Structure 1
Amino acid sequence: MPASTSDMKRDAQDVDWNNVALDLSGVDWSKVDYGNGAASSTPAASTAAAETPASSQPEVVATSAAAEPSAAAEAPSSTEAAAPAETSASASSDAGGVVGDILSGIESLATKLGAQLGVNSETDNGQIWIGGDGKHSATFTNGADKDAMVWCWGKSTMWINANQPVISIKLAAGETQKLSVADGFSGGCGASFDDSDLYMGLLNESILEFTFGSGANGCFDISREINMKGIQLTAKGAKCTSGLDGSSDSCTFICTDSSATRCGAGGGDYAIDVGTSTEGPCMVGKDPFTGDAAGGCQMADDGEHLEVTIHASRW
């Protein structure tokens, strides 16, 4: 998961995913070793990193695997999104505002998934909001031939069964929607189809993770750690592409055991598959405490915009 949130992966290889979900803790990213790590088509090599100047060391997002309550119902409560969900769509024709029926019928889709409805703010809430007026933004495009839901959360509200996510919108086939993200905000987004489900309260699909900031202070990645067979996602930024790039991975977190469903529980460790990306923009490093993989795509120097595509297929 990214090298740009205040989260951190810990000891995924020892995690029993049947009893454990993701917990999030702080990390001093100034101590992360980023370098020319020789990751290529062999993902495990991405943990090898040489020293580089401090200017290339990001504050980055990553998810740690640590013990959680034994049942998803005991997931932590939200400290970031307490406002009531907004369920009525406005009639804005501005491509940056609420477009089409993105808030229509989302109650039944959320209920079927077992998730709460999002806050879905249309004004700057210091997190993620609907519209394109922020310094940082992401345009989500549904490239599938069926409806997709887009879910976004903060770093402590990713258990969307127990916590209210920041965003829950519906995109029809071919529809797009721009979201703005506050500077320094760490969190993630994912997509669900009608047959998606949750795992221990987490969206059981591929996940876009991020901390929005300038240059090496911002980072994003597509992570396949929770579900290696999740919905294919592509996130293209100014300097780097993460996720599906053509028919290959690019700067993507994967399990070192390619046959695993999820990392841990026999799936081994995780690593960055540099794939078709170029190291530098695709930052490859290691956790200073555990030696685990850390990194992701570096953001633009002055305001990042991501083009995020939801593909029809799963990996």
Structure 2
Amino acid sequence: MRFTSAAVLSTLAVGQAAAANIRHASFHARRAVEKREDKPVDWASVTYDLKNVDWSKVNWNSVFSSSATPSSTPPPKVEEVKVEAVSTPTPTPTPTPSSTSAAPAEKTEKPNVVEHITNDILSGLDSFLSKLGISQKGANSYEPNGGIWLGDSDWSAEFTNGGSKDVKLFCWKANGFSGMSLNVNQPAISINLAPGASQNVSFAEGVPSSCAPADDSTSLAMFGGIQNTWWEVTFGSTGAFDVSRNVWMQGTNIHSQGSKCTSDMDTCVFKCKDESAQSCEKGYELYNCDAGNGGGGGYDPIMDGTGGGCSMGSSGEHVKVTFS
């Protein structure tokens, strides 16, 4: 498998089903707190039942005089005054919001893919695309889409910036031979990778694709593709991956490690036979790639030239790709 610098994209055997979907979700617990207090009697609402009192028998002198003297004649018996307190129910006041009141319930919604994209991932992207001559940002989907999307799955690659400055990662589908021309086609992925940062990217099985790094020194080739080293892949049990240097021989170093094979600048790599050439549409070869190191080559009838690359697992593959 390989690309050429003019208008060619590698082809590999088509795999089977689309990659599995890994969903992310987060949930927040809701806590309710109630404060219960004893309520005092409202004396203003108390009534007194005095209908059975015989007021003619009350000794008013003893009631109102604090100096009354005892008498030998016992005072008339006063019938017991019944006092009944009747409490009138009062409405419960609405609690005043405080720091201990119940928090409002949060909505559980499907995650917005834009919320997953951090400022670091998009840092400096607009100005960089404008300078490079690419009119559209990458789709940067977080959902399985039959092509390429951000996130992990059974068929994926972890891209790491092993350099000392920011790089932009571009990934695209072949779409015949047109997908690599990013000046007229929207890339599937266009994100920023800070030094030391990593990003998982998933690929559907059987979809020929490629990714390439770009920095301030990178430009577009005549055909509208990234003029740099490319990492090429078709995921699937019969798929393969490789590093292609023939697009731009002086490009960024790429090292990719799979479960069975390594592809880097010297191993399982496509490069020009004439190493003094900057790029080559023809006259390239697959180097150091055979069954002995987990790879394999052969004749590519579509490209009328050499094909091949690193083999991968039968039911899944996670390749670690590092730019430096």
**2:146 equivalent to 1:126:** yes
Measure, in 1, the Cα distance between the counterparts of 2:243 and 2:9.
17
8 Å Cα contact 1:89-1:103 kept in structure 2: no
Q: Which residue of 2 aligns with 1:250?
A: 267
Q: Which residue of 2 aligns with 1:283?
A: 296
Measure, in 1, the Cα distance between the counterparts of 2:8 and 2:304.
18
Q: Which residue of 2 aligns with 1:198?
A: 220
Q: Relative to structure 1, is the Cα distance of residues 273 and 292 closer, same or farther in structure 2, using a 3 angstrom cutoff?
A: same
C-alpha distance after superposition, 1:64-93 (max 9, x if no partner): xxxxxxxxxxxxxxxxxxxxxxxx852x5x
Q: Which residue of 2 aligns with 1:219?
A: 240
Q: Which residue of 2 aligns with 1:187?
A: 209
Fraction of identical pairs, as percent: 41
Deviation at 1:104, TM superposition (A): 2.9
Q: Where does structure 2 lack aligned partners over 5 or more consecutive residues?
A: 16-112
Q: Relative to structure 1, is the Cα distance of residues 289 and 195 closer, same or farther in structure 2, using a 3 angstrom cutoff?
A: closer
Measure, in 2, the Cα distance between the counterparts of 1:113 and 1:106.
10
8 Å Cα contact 2:271-2:284 kept in structure 1: yes
**2:295 equivalent to 1:295:** no
Q: Which residue of 2 aligns with 1:158?
A: 180
3-state SS of paired residue (2:267): strand
Higher share in strand: 1
Return the match for 1:273 from 284, 287, 292: 287
**2:263 equivalent to 1:207:** no
3-state SS of paired residue (2:228): coil
Return the match for 2:249 from 207, 228, 244: 228
Q: Where does structure 1 lack aligned partners over 5 or more consecutive residues?
A: 3-8, 30-57, 61-87, 93-97
Work out which structure has the larger RCO, using CA pairs closer than 8 Å and 6 or more positions apart in sequence.
1
Measure, in 1, the Cα distance between the counterparts of 2:8 and 2:164.
34
Measure, in 2, the Cα distance between the counterparts of 1:163 and 1:111.
14
Q: Relative to structure 1, is the Cα distance of residues 269 and 107 closer, same or farther in structure 2, using a 3 angstrom cutoff?
A: same
8 Å Cα contact 1:243-1:251 kept in structure 2: yes
3-state SS of paired residue (1:199): coil
8 Å Cα contact 1:142-1:148 kept in structure 2: yes
8 Å Cα contact 2:261-2:311 kept in structure 1: yes
**Partner letter of residue 111 of structure 1?**
S
3-state SS of paired residue (1:22): coil
Deviation at 1:100, TM superposition (A): 5.8
**2:131 equivalent to 1:112:** yes
Measure, in 1, the Cα distance between the counterparts of 2:294 and 2:311.
5
TM-score by length of structure 1 reads 0.65
**2:263 equivalent to 1:259:** no
**2:198 equivalent to 1:176:** yes
Measure, in 2, the Cα distance between the counterparts of 1:291 and 1:124.
33
Deviation at 1:107, TM superposition (A): 1.1
Measure, in 1, the Cα distance between the counterparts of 2:210 and 2:7.
13
**Partner letter of residue 273 of structure 1?**
Y
3-state SS of paired residue (1:112): helix
TM-score by length of structure 2 reads 0.63
**Partner letter of residue 310 of structure 1?**
F
8 Å Cα contact 1:186-1:210 kept in structure 2: yes
How many residues align structurally? 222
3-state SS of paired residue (1:102): helix
Measure, in 1, the Cα distance between the counterparts of 2:309 and 2:9.
17
Measure, in 2, the Cα distance between the counterparts of 1:170 and 1:290.
33
8 Å Cα contact 1:99-1:177 kept in structure 2: no
Q: Relative to structure 1, is the Cα distance of residues 24 and 180 closer, same or farther in structure 2, using a 3 angstrom cutoff?
A: closer
C-alpha distance after superposition, 1:45-76 (max 9, x if no partner): xxxxxxxxxxxxx559xxxxxxxxxxxxxxxx
8 Å Cα contact 1:140-1:177 kept in structure 2: yes
- Root-mean-square deviation (Å): 2.4
3-state SS of paired residue (2:160): strand
Q: Relative to structure 1, is the Cα distance of residues 307 and 290 closer, same or farther in structure 2, using a 3 angstrom cutoff?
A: closer
Measure, in 2, the Cα distance between the counterparts of 1:142 and 1:105.
16
Q: Relative to structure 1, is the Cα distance of residues 128 and 289 closer, same or farther in structure 2, using a 3 angstrom cutoff?
A: closer
Q: Relative to structure 1, is the Cα distance of residues 99 and 218 closer, same or farther in structure 2, using a 3 angstrom cutoff?
A: farther
8 Å Cα contact 2:239-2:311 kept in structure 1: yes
**2:260 equivalent to 1:239:** yes
